[in-house]
Chains A and B, each alone.
Chain A
């Protein structure tokens, strides 16, 4: 899925922030001024709040068997029950915690890797830079999900690593960093030619300082965008791995709900409620994150913006300037 178009474009983080200041707004103001970002943040916040407030939203324990078998939605169980008789709604809201947490952790870790590899491979030239670049490209071209499947499946051979969410997060971290690293590398390559870097070198700043205290702040917008993109991808991959049975099958999460639904052949026998809620939640969460990224795209690339006249209509109806 396409989650961002900030590929090798040079994003001028400084200009985004300064244009925000120019309009006498804070970063929050800028973020909410763009409708796409606002919608995306709203959706994600909704799910995060739901996850946090899970105990308040449902009296049931998600893992407790309440009834026998899978019942359709009713007043007592608004999303119905699973094949094992657990309340589906409870599974969804508690499962949100697991899903979001795993995705978030994997995204954070992956972003750290991205920043490290991206910036160092972009800043250092010569053999070091080339070697790091090769490393990134190899990881980039190897297909991520199959790699994750192999890792997770081999990890499940061992009792210690079997059924462990941390393993999933680690596996995802390992397989999702390459894309962001390449994007950051491209940006670093162009930034390192700028005068402020030469000036920092001339005043005797250490290499680490230059990379992380001078160059990195200028790439914040890009890092944010790739973080969000990684988050989306991590959620998707995490759900996929769980669906395949490589996750913790005894712990409720959105992916595990789908795993059990498939294991119980829910669709064939017509128990759609085992599938629909989890799938829709995943879709909305990922869509929300994707919207945030598209909004950041628009902030960074003015050509993508559609100027809307907020006040009275200033333009006449017939536009002769427009070339047919």
Chain B
């Protein structure tokens, strides 16, 4: 099945102006999102992943500035227009129409994302009303009830206020609101981080079930790479505002290429696969006001060599096989001009990966399991 491009981010750069100079929160990022795909964005705090997500709908406030780039949106499946439109060039009213009906966001903390003084019904229906003014009040209410059913919230909760709902319910509520206009893309910014593990699982399987039913694409932002290995089709790893690796989940799992990715994977235990020694990544993410020269990761990298502090690595294409897309890595180890020995020899000297094991299966909802029955 050929994948259709839905969203194309080209060379996006976002700066935060401050008294001491510009901070590059997002630095020359290019990404593609296909229809029906789950794209994972992984990275530590301050890597720029949330900034990137909010930049897509131009939700950033001053002092953030988009200094460069294009974000091309290819429109709905059945739209006639062949040419994509640059979101960054949209007028106010175009942007307002675009928002939520094409692209919705699920925020990290539902408690903070819900207006505390409005009940749930109003928060669901006001967006419907804003985009479909012709719809009657009872039709809107009907849609709201339908959305609650989809996410597994009891209908008698329609008029509740956010503080009257449990944490899990609140998260489901903002997922329901996100679905209100049946968008093509949903950006999920750490949607389950604030919840306990059991509720996390529920919510995640709910999300994937809805995706299967409605076919929207997801950009899933998290610091938890192990989660993405189960959820995402494609994963982008970000560090200090740049993408350092971009590959399918199988590739990331089987053969993590960037030393940072390898470090991240070694930081999480898995239930599958052979036992191995865990190691973290020494040091901490850089302060974006003083990013290390050359490769931003080099102070923490166990494989750094003399080129690393000098030259900023560009994303290199690495073939992975005839039928699979290339992996992209921003690391000098993979540049034959700078590292003639090749990456494998350097990495295998300290190797710890599990190329033979199969990656964990992607979380699916099978017909026999209990779907949507939770409260």
Contacts and interface: CB of A to CB of B under 8 A. Distances in A.
Asked if the two chains touch in their complex, CB atoms less than 8 Å apart, one says: yes
A315 interface: yes
A311 B21 contact: yes
B58 A321 contact: yes
Given A320-B58, A321-B58, A323-B60, A314 B21 contact: yes
A310 to B, nearest CB: 5
A2 interface: no
A308 B20 CA distance: 10
A309 B65 CA distance: 14
Contacts of B14: 321
A319 B57 CA distance: 14
Interface string B324-358: 00000000000000000000000000000000000
Contacts of A75: none
A254 to B, nearest CB: 40
Which of A307, A314, A316 has the most C-beta atoms of chain B within 10 angstroms of its own C-beta? A314
Contacts of B19: 307-311
A314 B95 contact: no
Interface string B31-65: 00000000000000000000000010111111111
A311 B17 CA distance: 11
A322 B63 contact: no
B64 to A, nearest CB: 5
Given A321-B14, A324-B95, A307 B63 contact: yes
Contact of B64 (A309, A314, A321, A324): A321
A305 to B, nearest CB: 10
Given A307-B19, A309-B19, A322 B58 contact: yes
B58 A323 contact: yes
A309 B92 CA distance: 27
Given A309-B19, A314-B21, A319 B95 contact: no
A323 B90 CA distance: 11
B17 A309 contact: yes
Interface string B17-29: 1110110000000
Contacts of A323: 57-61, 95
B62 A322 contact: yes
Report the contact-size class of chain B (Cβ under 8 Å from the partner).
20 to 34
Given A314-B17, A314-B21, A319 B65 contact: yes
A324 B92 contact: yes
A312 to B, nearest CB: 9
A314 B15 CA distance: 10
A309 B63 CA distance: 10
Interface residues of A, number: 14
B204 interface: no
Given A309-B19, A314-B17, A315-B17, A320 B66 contact: yes
Contacts of B18: 307, 309
Contacts of A310: 19
Given A309-B17, A314-B17, A324-B92, A319 B22 contact: no
B122 interface: no
B127 interface: no
Interface in B55-87: 55, 57-67
A272 B88 CA distance: 60
B88 A307 contact: no
Contacts of A315: 15, 17, 22, 63, 65
Interface in A290-324: 307-311, 314-316, 319-324
A309 B67 CA distance: 17
A316 B66 CA distance: 9
Contacts of A321: 14, 55, 58, 60-62, 64-66
B54 to A, nearest CB: 9
B66 A319 contact: yes
Nearest to A315: B17
Nearest to B19: A310
A197 to B, nearest CB: 27
Contacts of B55: 321
A198 B67 CA distance: 49
Contacts of B62: 319, 321-322
Interface in B1-26: 14-15, 17-19, 21-22
B284 to A, nearest CB: 17
Given A309-B17, A315-B17, A322 B22 contact: no
Contact of B88 (A308, A309, A320): A320
Contact of B60 (A308, A309, A322): A322
B17 A307 contact: yes
Contact of B67 (A311, A316, A322): A316
A323 B103 CA distance: 15
Contacts of B58: 320-324
A314 B22 contact: yes
Contacts of B96: 324
Contacts of A308: 19
A204 B62 CA distance: 49
Interface in B147-173: none
Contacts of B64: 321
A315 B65 CA distance: 7
A320 B61 CA distance: 10
A319 B61 CA distance: 10
Contacts of A316: 65, 67
A315 B58 CA distance: 16
Interface in A102-142: none
A170 to B, nearest CB: 44
A20 to B, nearest CB: 15
Contacts of B17: 307, 309, 314-315
A63 to B, nearest CB: 52
Nearest to B51: A321
A323 B63 CA distance: 12
Contacts of A320: 58, 65-66, 88
Q: 3 closest A-B pairs (Cβ-Cβ)?
A: A324-B92, A321-B60, A321-B66
Given A307-B63, A309-B17, 4 more contacts: A314-B15, A319-B65, A320-B88, A321-B55
23 contacts: A307-B18, A307-B63, A309-B18, A311-B19, A314-B15, A314-B21, A314-B22, A315-B15, A316-B65, A319-B62, A320-B88, A321-B14, A321-B66, A322-B58, A322-B60, A322-B62, A323-B57, A323-B58, A323-B59, A323-B60, A323-B61, A323-B95, A324-B58
